[in-house]
Amino acid sequence: MPYIRIELTREGVTREQKQQLIKGVTDLVTDVLNKDPHLTHVVIQEVALDDWGYAGEQVSVLREKGITANKK
């Protein structure tokens, strides 16, 4: 029983985008690992920007400064 957990920042990911992620990951696990899609579980957890950090700062603060993961 594969269990896949996707964590991403809460920034307006739509229901349709989440469905695409769930289907895409399920299809990939089915194709690559030959797992039964009916036994594959995908969980998407959205994390508030204040609760996610890197480089010693909260993402919310970095965004306010105009800094992204690809740009310092």
Write out the catalytic residue numbers: 2
Q: Rounded to whole angstroms, how far apart are CA atoms 63 and 57?
A: 10
Dihedral of CA atoms 68, 54, 62, 70 in degrees, nearest 10, equals: -10
Tally of residues, the chain:
72
